[in-house]
Structure 1
Amino acid sequence: MTHQDPTIRLTVAQAIVKFISNQYSIMDGERRRFIPAAGGIFGHGNVSGFSQAFSQYSDSIPFIQGRNEQSLGHIGSGLAKATQRRQTLAVTASIGPGAMNLVTASALATVNRLPLLLLPGDTYATRRQGVVLQQLEDPSDPGLTVNDAFRPVSRFFDRITRPEQLITSLPQAFRVLANPVETGAVVLSVSQDLQSMAYDFPVELFRERDWPIRRTAPQPEEIHAIAEAIRGAEKPLIIAGGGVHYSLAQEKLQQLGEATGIPVAETFGGKGAIQHDADWFLGGLGLEGNPATNRLVAQADLILSIGTRLTDFSTGSQTMFKNPDVRFAAINIAEIDAIKQGGIAAVSDARRGIEDLLSDLEDYGVSQDWSSEIRSQKDEWRPQRAAALDPDTVFDKNAPEHADLNIPDTDAVLTQGQLIGLMQEHSQSGDVVIAAAGGPPGDLLKVWDATEGRHAHLEFGFSCMGYEIPAGIGVRLANPEEEKRVSVFIGDGTFLMNPTEILTAAQEGLKVTYVVSENHGFQVIRRLQMMKFGEQFGNDFRYRGHDEQGRLSGDYLQVGLENIGEGLGAKVIRATSAEEVRTALDETRSHEGPVMIVVPTVPLVDLPGSEVFWDVAPAEVSEQEWVSPLRTEYEEGLRDQRWHV
């Protein structure tokens, strides 16, 4: 900028809002507003700056009034995931607790590599006011504020203390948002007094700008090395992750499977990567995957991971790969993920990498023996899955096979698996089901059919309780076609943690369906607790008992979930039987606004196990005699744990 360049006088907050309203993402020639809307809650730390700016530019950026700052961040992440990282929200918050409410949302976005723009207010830059409301005082660092908590959970953090800093900081922020390797939460922490300060900004700063989401091409020799490794393997297997979705590589992956017969398993993020069922399609893998997939993974002598971080849920804490000759390869846009497991690494956009691999494997097909083994395992799993989901089978809690569960008396007649079966019956092409924490995402990974246009939006990178309800709003914003259903599948434990954005869905007139599995507690953690500790403690929703210990051991809490939903503006139905659930789903598909269907489900009844170990250690010493055998079992499981370097 020179002194002769035209300028425009704006406040810092106005400059930020005007800038973000003119930024666009470009992917495969498709241009979208990068920040199509904003959200926030105003307090003294942003009300005179950002509220005025968003009001002034409300024609360009619609403003969503949320109930909780964390939830607004989750709406942005839900939108980003549903648009393959091409759009997200800007979220503003006041200093202090408002800003801190965004820290969890920041971590979720960063862990999942989802773009999210956060604009928390910060304490005064001038400091002449003395200690201000909600300010943290650090005697060793006057410049430190609570907003420094964003640094480890964001991919770009800048504290704005001078207006001219925006000239370089804003482009850098959007560079990170658009970079598939670096993307995550971007935090511009703006001092409270600075937001209202005026400055002569260069007009050029506010021109429309396109940010390409680039497709990194692989090195030919890296792809050829992977192809040669596949040719040399007897039992190759592909693990598909979220990168397949973000790069829009689903069709190419389908072509690879059809051409070669290499079996494809899916992570949480990769669920739905294969859109048409085939003999070689395995479904979910890992701790919450189906046992047939996991048995095949254990046999594989070459694992090719595509677009996945390979967390411990996908690797069984590094115990799943049991073939002594197993080798690894990876196609990933991020080198940090491509080199995991010490295998052959191709740093590449997933679609570009699959395209080149498909060409290199033009005349390749897996052996008949491997194909036969795949079909055999799938054939064994198929009736187990069908039986677990069949909603018309009467569940007998007194059957001998359930004797050890001590299933309590409730009004539930359906299991959670049967509820999923009913949702599956109702699901149509274009519908999206969302889950993030507790039992629902694991159950959906194991049994949900996300083919033929049905989509599963599973956030399990951060496994964040409280993500689901606001994320449903983000997914609906990304999918405005009202004939397509956006459903949030959530347990009562997670529902009670963060239900309030149902009111936001009602306020915005958004069609989002919330299916609540009422099983009286944090049941998936109770299951883990029983496996690793051997006693239920603090997970059932029970009244305080009157025994000597005074534990939470009384009757189940009486929680009016329906009253909560009605109070927040949803159309609420309590459905107990299979027919009632069917009717509720059918009759509410076209309802304008949020719908909440509460379904009592039988506690303590799980889907078939995955047969996979997870490294969660029972106590090494304990006065409780039942803990010692669990520790022994755990140590036996560790024997399968291997380094892959």
Structure 2
Amino acid sequence: MVHGASGRTVRLTAAQAVIRYISAQYSVADGVRERFVPAALGIFGHGNVAGLGQALAEHADRLPFVQGRNEQALGHMATGFAKASKRRRTLAVTASIGPGATNLVTAAALATVNRIPLLLLPGDTYATRRQGPVLQQLDLPGTPDVTVNDAFRPVSRFFDRITRPEQLLTALPQAFRVLASPEETGAAVLALPQDVQSHAFDFPVEFFEDREWVIRRRVPDAGEIDRVADLIRGAERPLVIAGGGVHYADATVALTELARATHLPISETFAGKGAIAEDGPWSVFGIGLEGSPTTNRLAERADLIVHVGTRLTDFATASQSLFANSEVRFASINVVEHDAVKQGAAAVVADAKLAIAALAEALGDYRVPAAWAAEVVTAREAWLPLRDAATDADTRFPLEQHPELPDTGATLTQGQLIGLLQEHALPGDTVVAAAGGPPGDLQKVWDATNGQHAHLEFGFSCMGYELPAAMGVRLADPDPAHRVTAFIGDGTFVMMPTEIVTAAQEGIPFTVVISENHGYQVIRRLQMWRTGEHFGNEFRYREGGGALADADAGRLEGDYLRIDLAQIAAGLGAHVRTATTADEVRAALGETRAVRGPVVIVVPTIPHADLPASEVWWDVSPAETWEHVDTTEKLAEYGAGLAQQRWHG
């Protein structure tokens, strides 16, 4: 028997111990103490109902339970909650064994890639094995200890399979240590065999006492700060790239003050959208593949790149082709050393808020060279009218001048719809997007200053994240004055709309705005860019109606599918509006702002009518041979970009 310091024990099942422990954990950040995991989400099956299900029912007063419809979506909801909570809180998600558990693998990968804390409690097959092979057991002859939950190992920051209840004494603290660590955080997975969940053990009473996990700010090294300050002073054309770490560190005000004092131009990644709190001559908008073309021209000329709180993915760097100045150097601020040293940067491995403040002090009365400041202002002034024209919904799009575009009855472009959302947005509102065209378009034209937030997940580019993540954002920010809007295409909506039922059940107020453009249009655009021919991306009927096995079955090039998105949403429990014109969209947004439940607004948008291009390259190779299409021109264009790729070290 294991005893605590007092010698007192309490007999609990493994599942009861898990719930008791989770409900007693608190995060402390900057002196603010909060429940680390205030609720659990899940779907019960034979692999978790008698164990975790019983424990959650017994301790519902300690850890409220939310019933979901799809395990992956519940993982996304928890991640959205954690991201909106600036990684200081998260939610627990439980699933049954087999497909319930593997549905969580995508959610785990998204959280880990984006370094967001997520606690997953999937059921697992029997530890005793005497029943096997059991329902949903993988049953591999050569590796009998492997279950489908081993799929979590490469996509999690912490994984443990609990085969005896007492293993929780070390596993649970280690899981929470990872969740609370800015450097290590991601998905923490405790795989719980269904028999072990119900097995009892005499746990030390002290194990279930309230415990605080301090989310620490790593203090910058003065020498590292001085080195970066020297690089900035010596540069003629410095440029800052701000990432999501600026938000997680609550460093937006510090970064804005640095920009205001020095006029260092600040660009933003997807996760960094809104990293500066106010607009000014230093704000140069998004960078990279979906950034402003004028920002990308600045990046090509910059002789110093300072990247702050970013992983520098290929979207931000245009597949390492963006930084074209032969003399370019790099500096960085990042709490994760792995990211800090990218591009051979002079690294400050520290909390972004503390490091930015220290850098501002080290720079003193420094201002960027006047010629560069003027060039930055010129770039801003060149982009703003292009942005405003592309998002102006009161100027009718001249569809008759574009015979190449299909006429679907839509009157608005997706850019114009974004303009209407921007017009409606108030301080405190959040727009959420994650995959397809919406996050790229928001990155390019959305104004996320003055309290209007953008929650863009593009680290994993996961379709289906947006709707449940918006619900998580709403749970993190219950202020009824703040509107949370998931902006998605019809492709994403039909993939995973079912958590609308959960929102209706729980009375969670949030809005889904669907840009109905008939398919996976952003991938069609990429397809046209790299091959010159589209295939399999629009929502169309099959020509001819032949059987799929027939040689002459035809292609997916018939009429657009007739899908009643509004009826689907209404059937799931949403308050629904459809809107075609700018004024109808305005009315729909205004009429539904105060609805206390899920709202879905369906807006037809003109397919293939894109925002201005970012004018950078991306490393997606065309086919080198194609029997029916001449890709010579595409290959030449690709090769020219390939020649611009550089290794920065």
Q: Does TM, normalized by the shorter one, top 0.5?
A: yes
* Cα distance in 2 between the residues matched to 1:615 and 1:2: 58
In structure 2, what is the equivalent of residue 28 of structure 1? Answer: 30
In structure 2, what is the equivalent of residue 284 of structure 1? Answer: 286
* Cα distance in 1 between the residues matched to 2:162 and 2:128: 12
Shift of 1:640: 1.1
Shift of 1:347: 0.4
SS in 2 for 1:144: coil
In structure 2, what is the equivalent of residue 326 of structure 1? Answer: 328
2:391·2:416 contact (CA, 8 Å) conserved in 1?
Answer: yes
SS in 2 for 1:303: strand
In structure 2, what is the equivalent of residue 428 of structure 1? Answer: 426
1:68 to 56, 70, 73: 70
* Cα distance in 2 between the residues matched to 1:170 and 1:549: 55
Shift of 1:367: 1.0
Matches within 5 A, 1:338-357: 338-357=340-359
1:572·1:596 contact (CA, 8 Å) conserved in 2?
Answer: yes
Letter paired with 1:496? V
In structure 1, what is the equivalent of residue 458 of structure 2? Answer: 460
In structure 2, what is the equivalent of residue 414 of structure 1? Answer: 412
In structure 2, what is the equivalent of residue 516 of structure 1? Answer: 514
In structure 1, what is the equivalent of residue 548 of structure 2? Answer: none
* Aligned CA-pair RMSD: 0.9
In structure 2, what is the equivalent of residue 169 of structure 1? Answer: 171
Matches within 5 A, 1:87-486: 87-399=89-401, 402-403=402-403, 406-486=404-484
In structure 1, what is the equivalent of residue 604 of structure 2? Answer: 600
* Cα distance in 2 between the residues matched to 1:170 and 1:14: 13
Question: Which stretches of structure 1, 4 residues or more, deviate above 6 A after TM superposition?
Answer: none
Matches within 5 A, 1:38-77: 38-77=40-79
Per-residue deviation, residues 215-271 of structure 1 (Å, max 9, x unmatched): 001111111000000010000010000000000000000011011111000000000
2:289·2:318 contact (CA, 8 Å) conserved in 1?
Answer: yes
Matched, 1:578 2:599: no
Letter paired with 1:58? A
* Cα distance in 2 between the residues matched to 1:464 and 1:360: 40
Matched, 1:499 2:501: no
Per-residue deviation, residues 509-537 of structure 1 (Å, max 9, x unmatched): 01100000000000000000000111110
Matched, 1:643 2:641: no
Shift of 1:137: 1.0
Per-residue deviation, residues 73-115 of structure 1 (Å, max 9, x unmatched): 0010000000000111111111000000000000000000000
* Cα distance in 1 between the residues matched to 2:530 and 2:16: 54
* Cα distance in 2 between the residues matched to 1:369 and 1:339: 29
Per-residue deviation, residues 256-292 of structure 1 (Å, max 9, x unmatched): 1011111000000000011110001111111000111
Per-residue deviation, residues 28-66 of structure 1 (Å, max 9, x unmatched): 001110101101101110110010000111111111100
Per-residue deviation, residues 320-340 of structure 1 (Å, max 9, x unmatched): 101111000110000000000
Question: Alignment identity in percent?
Answer: 63
2:438·2:487 contact (CA, 8 Å) conserved in 1?
Answer: yes
* Cα distance in 2 between the residues matched to 1:343 and 1:47: 50
2:3·2:9 contact (CA, 8 Å) conserved in 1?
Answer: no
Structure 1: which 5+ runs fail to align?
A: none
In structure 1, what is the equivalent of residue 635 of structure 2? Answer: 631
In structure 2, what is the equivalent of residue 561 of structure 1? Answer: 565
* Cα distance in 1 between the residues matched to 2:380 and 2:256: 18
Per-residue deviation, residues 443-484 of structure 1 (Å, max 9, x unmatched): 000000001000000000000000001001100000100111
Question: How many pairs are equivalent?
Answer: 641
Shift of 1:2: 4.1
Structure 2: which 5+ runs fail to align?
A: 546-551
In structure 2, what is the equivalent of residue 81 of structure 1? Answer: 83
* Cα distance in 2 between the residues matched to 1:522 and 1:530: 13
Shift of 1:622: 1.7
- Under a length normalisation based on structure 2, what TM-score does the superposition of the two structures give? 0.98
In structure 1, what is the equivalent of residue 488 of structure 2? Answer: 490
2:593 to 589, 593, 606: 589
SS in 2 for 1:133: coil
Per-residue deviation, residues 169-207 of structure 1 (Å, max 9, x unmatched): 110000000001100000000111010111100001001
Per-residue deviation, residues 520-567 of structure 1 (Å, max 9, x unmatched): 000000000000111110001000002956000100000010011000
SS in 2 for 1:398: helix
* Cα distance in 2 between the residues matched to 1:94 and 1:322: 51
Matched, 1:612 2:610: no
Shift of 1:628: 2.0
SS in 2 for 1:514: strand
SS in 1 for 2:240: strand
1:284·1:445 contact (CA, 8 Å) conserved in 2?
Answer: yes
- Under a length normalisation based on structure 1, what TM-score does the superposition of the two structures give? 0.99
Letter paired with 1:346? V
1:622·1:628 contact (CA, 8 Å) conserved in 2?
Answer: no
Letter paired with 2:135? L
1:226·1:329 contact (CA, 8 Å) conserved in 2?
Answer: yes
* Cα distance in 2 between the residues matched to 1:482 and 1:575: 24
* Cα distance in 2 between the residues matched to 1:410 and 1:177: 48
Shift of 1:130: 2.0
1:103·1:150 contact (CA, 8 Å) conserved in 2?
Answer: yes
* Cα distance in 2 between the residues matched to 1:136 and 1:118: 20
Shift of 1:411: 1.4
Matched, 1:537 2:541: no
* Cα distance in 2 between the residues matched to 1:280 and 1:168: 49
1:107·1:185 contact (CA, 8 Å) conserved in 2?
Answer: yes
2:3·2:204 contact (CA, 8 Å) conserved in 1?
Answer: no
* Cα distance in 2 between the residues matched to 1:524 and 1:502: 25
2:3·2:203 contact (CA, 8 Å) conserved in 1?
Answer: no
Shift of 1:626: 3.1
Per-residue deviation, residues 374-423 of structure 1 (Å, max 9, x unmatched): 11111111110110000011111221xx35xx111211000000000000
